[in-house]
């Protein structure tokens, strides 16, 4: 059985790690290079480094920061934010990244996923999906605009999951499950799935969203958004069917170490690398 991965996430703004709630109210969480080194030493399986305002600010990613981080870690490093072209892939890979995460650019130009996969290999291409619940009343379920949506029944009613771009600032009208299937066809190697509803709340991952994507694509799915304790990580694997779990606050603010989370999972029968 494949081991499940624990992945610290570094959201970067102005060269510092930040953490917010539902993509808003960002607060400082430390230096990205120092934190990367700590998580590597704690036994993290990978690190994800996201320049969260690069696309919205229409600027390039902070290459020097990628280089300095890559020098300090000896585990796979995924980098995203502001990636717009195959040339961006090339520059970031040369700076020391192992995988590149694309969100906004992939939605605007899906062929970028195919191009990058053809040139660098699918294992390099991570498509990030930021999704939010879009509720539909029971009487509207049969309406034409909802016919092609993957609708689930939740504790709060019926909903589908809408893809957002520009760091959660713009709704696209795209169904997240359909988009996940599309990027799989285009050659993506992995999906980084963030629930905007759960992000930063510490109330747990959106298990319905995670399960919907995991069960409708063969790609590995990284669950992201809402982790507040080790039990939430267990639920993402056991009920959400995720292949990896991304987390930020509980690690940045020293509530848990990576090793503590892995030991908790191992005791409950989840295969992890110790």
Per-residue pLDDT tens over the stretch 111-155 = 999 999 999 999 999 999 999 999 999 999 989 889 899 999 999
pLDDT at 62 over 80: no
For residue 11, indicate whether it is catalytic: yes
CA 44 – CA 157 distance, rounded (Å): 37
Q: Nearest to residue 225, comparing CAs of 217, 242, 166? A: 242
- Position 54 scores a pLDDT of 63
Q: Which of 11, 40, 175, 199 is catalytic?
A: 11
Q: Nearest to residue 96, comparing CAs of 70, 78, 121, 122? A: 70
Are residues 227 and 242 in contact, defined by beta-carbon separation less than 8 angstroms?
no
Summary count for the chain: helices (H), strands (E): 10, 13
* Digit-coded pLDDT (tens) for 160-209: 999 999 888 999 999 999 999 999 999 999 999 999 999 989 999 999 99
Are residues 78 and 126 in contact, defined by beta-carbon separation less than 8 angstroms?
yes
Q: Residue 30 is inside which H or E element, if any?
A: strand 24-30
Q: Which of 130, 175, 206, 243 is catalytic?
A: 130
* Number of residues that this document lists for the chain: 274
- Position 16 scores a pLDDT of 79
- Position 53 scores a pLDDT of 65
**104-108 own/partner pairs: CB under 8 Å, 24+ apart:** 104/55, 104/165, 104/166, 105/55, 106/183, 107/163, 107/165, 107/172, 107/174, 107/179, 108/165
What average pLDDT does the structure give for the chain? Answer: 92
Predicted model pTM: 0.93
Q: Is 93 helix (H, G, I), strand (E, B) or coil?
A: helix
Q: For 5-131+163-267, CATH number? A: 3.20.20.70
* Digit-coded pLDDT (tens) for 39-52: 999 999 999 998 86
CA 105 – CA 85 distance, rounded (Å): 8
């Amino acid at each position: 059985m494949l081991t499940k991965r624990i992945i610290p996430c570094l959201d970067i703004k102005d060269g510092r790690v930040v953490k917010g709630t539902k993509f808003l109210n960002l607060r400082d969480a430390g230096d990205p290079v120092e934190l990367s080194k700590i998580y590597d030493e704690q036994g993290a399986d990978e690190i994800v480094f996201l320049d969260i305002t690069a696309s919205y600010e229409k600027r390039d990613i902070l290459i020097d920061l990628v280089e300095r981080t890559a020098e300090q870690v000896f585990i796979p490093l995924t980098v995203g934010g502001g990636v717009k072209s195959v040339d961006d892939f090339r520059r970031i890979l040369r700076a020391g990244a192992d995988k590149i995460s694309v969100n906004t650019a992939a939605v605007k130009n899906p062929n970028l996923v195919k191009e990058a996969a053809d040139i660098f290999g699918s294992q390099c291409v991570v498509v990030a999906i930021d999704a939010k619940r879009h509720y539909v009343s029971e009487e509207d379920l049969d309406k034409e605009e909802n016919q092609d949506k993957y609708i689930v029944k939740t504790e709060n009613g019926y909903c589908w999951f809408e893809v957002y771009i520009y760091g959660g600032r713009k709704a696209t009208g795209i169904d997240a499950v359909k988009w996940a299937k599309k990027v799989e066809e285009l050659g993506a190697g992995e999906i980084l799935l963030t629930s905007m509803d759960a992000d930063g709340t510490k109330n747990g991952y959106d298990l319905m969203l995670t399960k919907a994507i995991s069960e409708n694509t063969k790609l590995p799915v990284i669950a992201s958004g809402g982790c507040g304790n080790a039990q939430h990580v267990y639920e993402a694997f056991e009920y959400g069917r995720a292949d990896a779990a991304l987390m930020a606050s509980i690690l940045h603010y020293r509530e848990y170490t990576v090793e503590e989370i892995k030991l908790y999972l191992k005791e409950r029968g989840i295969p992890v690398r110790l």
